[in-house]
Chain A
Amino acid sequence: MRRFDLQRMGLGLAAPVLALVVALLLSSVALIISRNSPLTTFKSMLDYGVDPGTIVQTLNRSTTYYLSGLAVAIGFRMNLFNIGVDGQYRIAAFFAAVVGGWLVLPGPLLMIVVVLVAVVVGAIWAGIAAVLKATRGVSEVISTIMLNVIGGGIVAYLLDPGRLGTLIGSQQVSTRPMPADAYLPGIPLPGGDVYGFVVVAILCGAAYWVLLSRTRFGFDLRATGLSEPAAVASGVSVKRMVVRTMLLSGGVAGLVGMPLLLGESHAYASDFPAGYGFSGIAIALLGRNHPIGIAIGALLWSFLEQSAQILDLEGVPKEIVTIMQGVTVLSVVIAYELVRRFSLAQEQRRVGAELRAAAPAEEAS
């Protein structure tokens, strides 16, 4: 039994290592084709990446990515593809910012209300897709993608000086800024402050793990993801699970904009970043939907993005990082699938062999 666990762990490590090696090799090929030296490029990225200032930037971005990855992973565990995290977090952050700017409350209380509003709005926005799927059988892939666009449109419409926005400076439209006592303090590091929201993100990761592996709800969710017919036969109401899971995923998606809103921007302006939801999909894939895996994925993803800032100065096109990210996701997905199949076959052989050894007479009959 022990030997077998060690082997399993070895296999578990084999996949990410294999994937990273392949990703590095393929990225090197891309660099060589674009007439750059892979070694110097990687070295300058590494040097810049470990600079204290860059580390803080990396951690901050990872916090956002981690939440986004979690939101996507919740759906993935049930074979639900919530492509709509992007729209969900933007519309959630927008309304949360509006409430934060208008409501008069003591700072800490206001922060809690703002976060709750974000969770609720994110859940509602995802809930539309959930209800469509449960009642009408509309694929959540299609509906969430469309809801991304609709959400963006709604925000753009409302973020107008005549409506919920105010003009800041000459060009920028923003929601009314939140009061200073509702600024979430950061965690000081040598290179600057890390978003205080990182604590919430870590708690979310822990809650995700507990929910999925220790609760009945999590069991039903995973069972549905592993085999829907088996889950149905076991008494799971798949429609109900679709709705609940999407609400949960959307709720977490609502948190994606919070590190930035509470820790840095304190208002939703027209330059509030988009696209974190799509990074979340890649990160959930990278992290194999595991809370620690997603954390590693988020760190890697934002490390690549942050350390790439130096490349322009080195005369290397920054887009090389996009290639590296894509290649990493692909090789991780492929490596894990290979290892999964290998270990499944291995396991079957092993069980067969052990049983044959145990009962040779049985076989002969």
Chain B
Amino acid sequence: MTSTAPAPARGEAAGGTAVELRGITKRFPGVVANSDIDISVRVGTVHALVGENGAGKSTLMKILYGMQKPDEGTIAVDGRQVSFSSPGDAIDAGIGMVHQHFMLADNLTVLENVVLGAEPGGFGRLDTGAARRRIKELSDAYGLDVRPDRLVEDLGVGDRQRVEILKVLYRGARILILDEPTAVLVPQEVEELFGNLRGLKAEGITILFISHKLDEVLSVADEITVIRRGTTVATVRPADVTARRLAELMVGGELPSPETRESTVRADQVVLSIEGLSVRSPDGRAVLDDISLRIRAGEVLGIAGVEGNGQAELVEAIMGLRPATGRVRLGDRDLTGLDTRHRREAGIGFIPEDRHRQGLLLEAPLWENRILGHQTQAPNVSGPWIDRGGARADTERIVRDYDVRTPGIDVPASALSGGNQQKLIIGREMSGDPVLLLAAHPTRGVDVGAQAQIWDALRAARADGLAVLLISADLDELIGLSDTIEVILRGRLVGTADPRTVTPEELGSAMTGAGGDTGPGADPDLDDPLPGTAGPGLTGTGTTGTGSPSSDGRDDLDGRGES
């Protein structure tokens, strides 16, 4: 960690420090989510906060936005020390948050959404005139191009995001927190958003931009703070750093060692074969388009892709959780048309991407969670009856073998830390001798120790001949564990990479569909905030996002297409 330092030479640019976090520490039962975080953000800059999933970015933002109280440390806004006990306090201090998932009422107009909760007027009367004027002012001042009287349900994703931003500005925010704002946007919209951010910055608004997409961060941020394992490891300027260097800072250079990877692939033994698998979204769009792949015994097939490109749908389609067309075979058996339970019985283990939603019954004790997903299999049941003794004994075994840190098997799953919950899930999914394991983000949000243990468990199972489909947003994990990597983009498999030779940057480029391009970090133009030469995937289709397209039109999308 060469550049471990708080922001260099504070106050060198115009303005002072907008937000200063010192020694922020937040503990949750069994895990430390944040420890000793130091960040200072200068007024009128875009400050990016990068880190892997689970590194502690969102906890930190929740602390800054008053949703959680830090156990230790201080927060200063505009030089004054503050203590927030609710988002209301943060809003009063001029901090606004744009959530990743929009919080808009579809059946209301933009104006109604913006004023919701801060209605002008009094005595039950809504002063729409004043609100409309103010929205117009803000929209013009910051180049947001928001029209107050449109219904939110008619707006596209990019427009909704601008409404969210305007909503926050309307409440007087001078410091904006954007939580993974590009996750839901297509590349052109990303460009427009970045244009908006530059406009806001020019007007003196300070922006905290959370992301794990390095190319975007490098193109839009003035300063970048890297968080790893809950603590700040460096603050750097985009000009001084490459994407490769940032990636190293994010994972701490501890890339899983490739020498453990002597191949265990049993070439003659195909476990999973998929042919022409397609999934359509309710509106008829193909979210998974004609996927074909095979996984052999002892092979880990990694799927690399930006989230939302069909990985989740692929896993769900294989599990039978989502209607799909095409064939899925497990060994000699055709799974097409079987329901989830039968697929599990055929020998599929499933580590879901969201363990709280799909993996656990949080309020049920550990031993009941052991039964979950294996309700028809020994040792949990005998005939129609639950075999409590068998299930409890086997839970004890999992707790022991997978090092699940818990005082007992009668505590509810919610009492365990994320890493221990995940180890329980992995132990459970490995029992009953599965032949195929679908592992979606198996180490997301778990601490270092648990991560290493989970990796070891996956390696051991692979050596025993398990076939694994691995989905991960952590490219180093993908490269370190996989025997083969397939790249998924917009629901299609677009390329194959050899994990022995590929670098995270190459993979990153392929994931965004920019092929060949070797890493945005090497590009000297990046210091210049204008796009055009920005990273792969960001180069839109001819529209640069500055200014606002379509001045009159009812329909933004049309306007954008023509401009």
Contact = CB atoms under 8 A, between A and B. Distances in A.
A344 interface: yes
A337 B302 CA distance: 44
A234 B384 contact: no
B362 A234 contact: no
B150 interface: no
The 9 A-B residue pairs whose C-beta atoms are closest, nearest first, are A235-B341, A352-B29, A234-B373, A233-B358, A235-B340, A348-B29, A351-B415, A226-B361, A347-B415
Interface stretch (A23-31, A256-264, A357-365): A357-365
A362 to B, nearest CB: 7
B427 to A, nearest CB: 15
Contacts of B371: 219
Nearest to A224: B361
A219 B415 contact: no
Contact of B386 (A215, A232, A350): A215
Given A215-B384, A351-B411, 15 more contacts: A214-B385, A215-B386, A216-B375, A216-B385, A223-B375, A226-B361, A227-B360, A234-B373, A235-B344, A347-B414, A350-B407, A351-B30, A352-B30, A352-B417, A358-B405
Given A351-B30, A352-B29, A355-B405, A233 B352 contact: yes
Interface string B358-379: 1111111000100111111000
A351 B357 contact: no
A351 B32 CA distance: 14
A229 B358 contact: yes
B546 interface: no
A230 B381 contact: no
A334 B438 CA distance: 41
Interface in B28-42: 28-30, 32
A232 B321 contact: yes
Contacts of B375: 216, 219-220, 223, 234-236
Nearest to A343: B412
B366 to A, nearest CB: 11
Given A348-B29, A351-B29, A230 B415 contact: no
A243 to B, nearest CB: 15
B358 to A, nearest CB: 4
Contacts of B384: 215-217
A217 B448 CA distance: 39
Contacts of B29: 348-349, 351-352
A233 B364 CA distance: 16
A364 to B, nearest CB: 10
A226 B363 contact: yes
B30 A355 contact: yes
A339 B381 CA distance: 32
Contact of B405 (A230, A236, A359): A359
Nearest to A227: B361
A235 B386 CA distance: 16
Nearest to B374: A234
A1 interface: yes
Contacts of A235: 339-344, 373, 375-376
A354 interface: yes
Nearest to B364: A226
Contacts of A1: 408
B30 A230 contact: no
A213 B365 CA distance: 13
A359 B412 CA distance: 21
A219 B386 contact: yes
13 contacts: A217-B384, A223-B375, A227-B361, A229-B354, A230-B357, A230-B358, A232-B340, A234-B341, A234-B373, A235-B375, A344-B414, A351-B415, A355-B405
Contacts of A215: 384-386
A7 interface: no
Interface residues of A, number: 37
A139 interface: no
Nearest to B360: A230
A44 interface: no
A351 B361 CA distance: 18
Interface residues of B, number: 47
A230 B359 contact: yes
B376 A216 contact: yes
Contact of A233 (B340, B407, B416, B448): B340
A236 B273 CA distance: 25
B30 A233 contact: no
A34 B362 CA distance: 46
A351 B363 CA distance: 15
Contacts of B344: 234-235
B91 interface: no
Contacts of A213: 386
A234 B381 CA distance: 15
B406 interface: yes
A359 to B, nearest CB: 7
Nearest to A237: B339
Contact of A219 (B357, B368, B416): B368
Contacts of B28: 352
Contact of A348 (B359, B372, B415): B415
Contacts of A348: 29, 414-415
A234 B30 contact: no
B350 interface: yes
Contacts of B352: 233
Interface in B370-428: 371-376, 381, 384-386, 388, 405-408, 411-412, 414-417
Contact of B361 (A230, A356, A362, A363): A230
A226 to B, nearest CB: 4
Contacts of A222: 364
B77 interface: no
B319, B371, B372, B384: most-surrounded residue (chain A CB, <10 A): B372
B372 A223 contact: yes
B449 interface: yes
Nearest to B350: A233
Given A227-B357, A233-B373, A348-B29, A216 B411 contact: no
Interface in B308-363: 319, 321, 339-344, 350, 352, 354, 357-363
Given A219-B368, A347-B412, A365-B448, A354 B340 contact: no
A219 B391 CA distance: 13
B316 to A, nearest CB: 9
B77 to A, nearest CB: 30
A346 B339 CA distance: 39
Contacts of A363: 32
A235 B321 CA distance: 9
Contacts of A237: 339-341
Contacts of A362: 449
Interface in B436-472: 448-449
B319 A233 contact: yes
Contacts of A351: 29-30, 406-407, 411, 415-416
A229 B357 contact: yes
Nearest to A347: B415
B447 to A, nearest CB: 9
Contacts of A350: 407, 415
A43 B344 CA distance: 61
Contacts of B411: 347, 351
A363 B27 CA distance: 11
Interface string A196-221: 00000000000000000111111110
Contacts of A223: 361, 364, 372, 375
Nearest to B319: A233
B341 A236 contact: yes
Contacts of A217: 384
Nearest to B30: A352
B386 A216 contact: yes
A359 B352 CA distance: 29
Contacts of B412: 344, 347
Contacts of B30: 351-352, 355-356
Interface string A124-145: 0000000000000000000000
Given A344-B412, A347-B411, A347-B415, A214 B386 contact: yes
Contacts of B374: 234
